[in-house]
């Protein structure tokens, strides 16, 4: 049996049921606010599920590389291993407000410290991936197929009292990595998709791409000022197991469900944000927008719900040239055109044609803007072909889904006035150049030592800044280019 906690207090117990099922019973004395899900109010009879875990408990069970790693490490000790066993390991450090422990144990969420900066500056192929999985897999109660872990670096947390609190002992960031043989440059792909979401005005948590492009570090958005927020994905909200994440239609499983759960007063805002995100997914050609990639969040289980910030946006067409949508719209997984998307916005999100037109325009502008930076990144990355395929996918998406004839290359010509976000090491080097009057003389290792950077990171920064035309190099001399940066 496993004890279930919500918001740090006892909620009930989960047990096995038959050969492969599970049964959850609330502690009789637990208050209504201890409910594990908005779909499972407190009651005395147990909630029984004949196959695997109830959706709310299955929601954060590791999948993919993380799951394999955990099974490899722990099945030696236990022989066989299923989701119930996995929960008893990673359940004490999970996303959201539910925790799991042995029946006689107290809650202990302590997660080892890991500097975010160290991850951002790690050199390519330096074993980061294996190190993080080895050290953090057991603290990583989060789902998703891509390799990822939860880590703790409270000093790097950006907002909110609880977030800044030095007493945070639990995980604060998600680190997403990628498998070279499967989805090269996936972190950069997601980085630029998330950047487009932010530019288009959507709510996106703080995220950073590592200097080497190996990892994407994202702040948890489920930590509020007074503790953890409730987080329920659309598999849970539809009463479905994770295996059903590609099943059904966007109309009923996403838009109708949002109407079902969000208070009428908050619906216009939630539906508009959901629609905007859906439109962006079509324009980015993200064929993996399944039910676990949308969620609602809340402060209290009996309080109002809102759409979760944006996560997991990827141009999947960069890897799967024929990729279609994850769920159906109008009975088909074919990408919709602008006319069909306009109908969806009017019918399901209650939007006027003019506000829909504005959403299309803002989405196209955001993507064109982001592509300027993406183009620069992909030229010098490990697999430039990914960038080329992303670009064609975005152009196709902008033309078909948004009905805009916007060529990304034309827009992509560099303009000196445009602000260019720089990696930390690049910014540090520019700062040093400025304080030194615009020029530096010395070997890479001596300048790296001045900046407390590994020489390989400095070499990467030098190359990137040269590619951007921000510095020039001649032998051991480095100069600021003759323009304002
Ligand atoms: N910033 C965040 N804060 C809190 N929870 C998050 C955040 N980002 C993602 N999540 C949760 O973690 C889960 C896994 O993350 P994500 O979807 O990014 O992984 P993935 O491996 O790319 O997924 P997929 O299997 O869909 O490709 C999400 O389904 C969501 O529940
Ligand atoms: Mg996902």
Cα–Cα distance measured from residue 472 to residue 286, given in angstroms and rounded to the nearest whole number:
38
7 — alpha (psi -120 to 50), left (phi > 0) or beta? left
pLDDT for res 78: 63
Mean of pLDDT values over 26-45 = 98
- The edge-to-edge listing of strands for the beta sheet with 148-151 is 148-151, 173-176, 216-219, 207-209
| Nearest to 459, CA basis, from 469, 414, 473 | 473
Q: Measured in angstroms, how far is the CA atom of residue 273 from the centroid of ligand 1?
A: 18
Q: Is the pLDDT of residue 76 over 80?
A: no
Q: How far apart (Å, rounded) are the C-alpha atoms in residues 184 and 319?
A: 9
State how far the Cα of 84 lies from the Cα of 101, in Å rounded to an integer: 12
Q: Of the bound ligands, which one is closest to the alpha carbon of residue 144?
A: 1
Query: What span, in angstroms and rounded, lies between the C-alpha atoms of 148 and 398?
Result: 30
Q: What is the pLDDT of residue 339?
A: 97
- Per-residue pLDDT tens over the stretch 275-294: 999 999 999 999 999 999 99
Residue 462 scores a pLDDT above 70: yes
On average, the pLDDT of the chain sits at: 91
Q: What is the model's pLDDT at position 436?
A: 79
The 10s digit of each residue's pLDDT in 376-389 is 999 988 899 999 99
How does pLDDT run across 408-430, given as a tens digit for each residue?
875 444 444 445 577 888 888 88
CATH 1.10.10.10 spans which residues of the chain? Answer: 424-480
Q: pTM (2 decimals)? A: 0.84
pLDDT at residue 416, rounded to an integer: 45
- What is the structure's pLDDT at 474? 83
Centroid of ligand 1 to alpha carbon of 481 (angstroms): 41
Edge-first strand order for the sheet with 305-307 is 230-233, 295-298, 305-307
Ligand 1 atom with minimal separation from the 190 CA: 22
Structure tokens given for 209: 């791409």
267: confidence class by pLDDT, cuts 50, 70, 90: very high
Cα-to-centroid distance, 261 and ligand 1 (Å): 21
Task: Write down the residue that tokens 């953090």 correspond to.
Answer: 136
Q: Please report which ligand is nearest the Cα atom of 232.
A: 1
Torsion angle of C-alpha atoms 384, 390, 392, 397, degrees rounded to 10? -170
pLDDT tens per residue across span 167-216: 668 899 999 999 888 899 999 999 999 999 999 999 999 999 999 999 99
- Token pair 């099943």 is found at 247
Residue found under tokens 């399901």: 348
DSSP-derived letter for residue 201 is T
DSSP state of 253: I
From the list 49, 131, 142, the residue with the least C-alpha distance to 87 is 142
* Pocket residues: Cβ below 6 A from ligand 1: 95, 142-146, 148, 174, 205, 218, 220-222, 233, 288, 292-293, 295, 311-312
pLDDT at 408: 85
The pLDDT value recorded for residue 433 is: 80
What is the percent of the chain where pLDDT is above 70? 94
297 CA to centre of ligand 2 in angstroms: 16
In a mutational test of the pocket of ligand 1, which residue from 143, 173, 189 has the highest number of ligand atoms less than 8 Å from its CB? 143
> How high is the pLDDT of residue 420?
58
Kindly report the CATH class assigned to 424-480: mainly alpha
Give mean pLDDT, residues 304-311.
98
Q: How far is the CA of 142 from the centre of ligand 2 (A)?
A: 10
**Sequence-separated (6 or more) residues with CB below 8 Å from residue 226:** 161, 162, 299
Please tell me the distance from the alpha carbon of residue 233 to that of residue 57, in angstroms, as a whole number: 11
Q: Which ligand is nearest to the CA of 59?
A: 1
Ligand 1 atom closest to the CA of 314, numbered from 1? 22
Q: How many CB atoms lie within 10 A of CB 22?
A: 25
39 touches 236 (CB < 8 A):
yes
Q: Which ligand is nearest to the Cα of residue 245, counting in written order? A: 1
- Express each pLDDT in 428-450 by its tens digit: 888 788 777 778 888 889 999 98
The residue whose CA has the least distance to atom 23 of ligand 1 is 144
């Amino acid at each position: 049996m496993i004890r279930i906690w919500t918001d740090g207090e006892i909620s009930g117990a989960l047990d096995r049921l038959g050969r492969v099922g599970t049964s959850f019973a609330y502690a009789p004395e637990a208050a209504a606010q201890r409910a594990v899900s908005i779909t499972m109010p407190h009651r005395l009879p147990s909630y029984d599920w004949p196959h695997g875990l109830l959706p709310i408990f299955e929601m954060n069970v590791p999948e993919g590389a993380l799951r394999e790693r955990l099974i490899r490490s722990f099945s030696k000790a236990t022989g066989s291993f299923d989701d119930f066993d996995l929960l008893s390991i990673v359940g004490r450090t999970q996303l959201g407000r539910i925790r799991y422990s042995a029946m006689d144990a107290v809650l202990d969420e302590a997660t080892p410290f890991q500097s975010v900066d160290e991850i951002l500056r790690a050199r390519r192929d330096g074993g980061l991936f294996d190190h993080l999985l080895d050290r953090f897999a057991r603290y990583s109660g989060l789902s998703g197929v891509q390799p990822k872990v939860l880590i703790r670096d409270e000093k790097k947390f950006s907002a909110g009292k609880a977030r800044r609190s030095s007493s945070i002992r639990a995980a604060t960031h998600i680190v997403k990595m990628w498998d070279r043989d499967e989805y090269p440059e996936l972190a950069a792909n997601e980085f630029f998709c998330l950047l487009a979401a932010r530019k288009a005005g959507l709510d996106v948590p703080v995220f950073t791409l590592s200097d080497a492009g190996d990892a994407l570090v994202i702040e948890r958005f489920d930590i509020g000022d007074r503790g953890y927020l409730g987080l329920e994905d659309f598999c849970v909200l539809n009463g479905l197991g994770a295996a059903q994440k590609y099943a059904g239609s966007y109309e009923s499983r996403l838009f109708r469900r949002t109407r079902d759960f969000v208070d009428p007063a908050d619906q216009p805002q939630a539906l508009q944000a959901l629609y905007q995100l859906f439109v962006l997914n079509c324009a980015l050609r993200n064929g993996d927008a399944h039910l676990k990639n949308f969620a609602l969040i809340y402060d209290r289980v009996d309080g109002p719900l809102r759409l979760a910030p944006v996560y997991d946006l990827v141009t999947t067409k960069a890897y799967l040239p024929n990729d279609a949508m994850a769920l159906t719209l109008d009975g088909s997984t074919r990408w919709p055109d602008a006319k069909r998307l306009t109908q969806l916005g009017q019918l399901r999100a209650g939007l006027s044609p003019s506000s829909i037109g504005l959403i299309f325009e803002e989405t196209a502008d955001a993507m064109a803007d982001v592509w300027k930076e993406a183009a620069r990144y992909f030229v010098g990355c490990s697999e430039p072909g990914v960038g080329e395929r992303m670009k064609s996918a975005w152009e196709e998406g902008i033309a078909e889904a948004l009905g805009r004839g916007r060529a990304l290359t034309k827009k992509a010509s560099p303009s000196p006035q445009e602000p260019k976000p720089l990696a930390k090491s690049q910014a540090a080097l520019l700062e040093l150049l400025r304080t030194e009057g615009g020029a530096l003389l010395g070997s890479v290792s001596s300048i790296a030592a001045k900046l407390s950077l590994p020489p390989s990171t400095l070499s990467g920064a030098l190359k990137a800044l040269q590619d951007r035309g921000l510095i020039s190099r001649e032998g051991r001399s480095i100069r600021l280019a003759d323009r304002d940066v």
